[in-house]
Structure 1
Amino acid sequence: MNPVTVVVRVGEHAGWAFAIEYGHCESLSRLEEVSREGVEAVYYSYNPEHPPTIVLYARDGRSICGFGLGEERVRWGQEPDLLVPRSRRRPDPHGRRHRSSRRRKRRRQRS
């Protein structure tokens, strides 16, 4: 049996700490554990041979949202629209429309 090789690069940039795992990755199975006590964690799995690339986000020990890049219309989690731009979010289940800030500015200028 061949030993499993894993390399982890850790660092800090602009106030954010990061860890990048290469090789046999265990980070997906530990994402919620890593995100406990106010920590936010993002899992990014680049899949060039088997798209889509997967993005998962966890906060306070909970899985918040996830989606495949290029397939953002299919999302999951407690807050599936959290990381998606407002223009691409799912319609409000109560039929309400989200007004853009540009419309609000125009309305204020008319008053």
Structure 2
Amino acid sequence: YTFELSENAVGWRYDSSLCNIPSNQVVERKEEVIEKYNDGEFGRLIIKSYPTGSASITTLRSHIEKLLLKAFVPHMIIIDYADIMRSTRKYDSMRHELKLIYEEIRNLAMEM
């Protein structure tokens, strides 16, 4: 999940990293990237983007439940910039909201 970049931008970064190709060459070496993914070495990658501050842990949980209904069981969940997620509760202090966000992420991980 990403709360800052577009799904395409994050995808290019993963393609670059996983395929060991410089990010500025991913597009021109698209066939090589596709071949590496088709080898089955990496599994399936789903990238979901939300605007900054719009998604809470409830949003992520709902998306994961939809994936499970489609028989997709994520083996790993990566949350990019969790500290710009929306908290499920409002506090006077941002520190308390961030603490709650990370506690909810930890709880989600334990549920999985």
TM-score computed with the length of structure 2 as normaliser? 0.31
Higher strand proportion, which one? 1
Q: Which has the higher contact order (CA 8 A, sep 6+)?
A: 2
Greater helix share, structure number: 2
TM-score after normalising by structure 1: 0.31
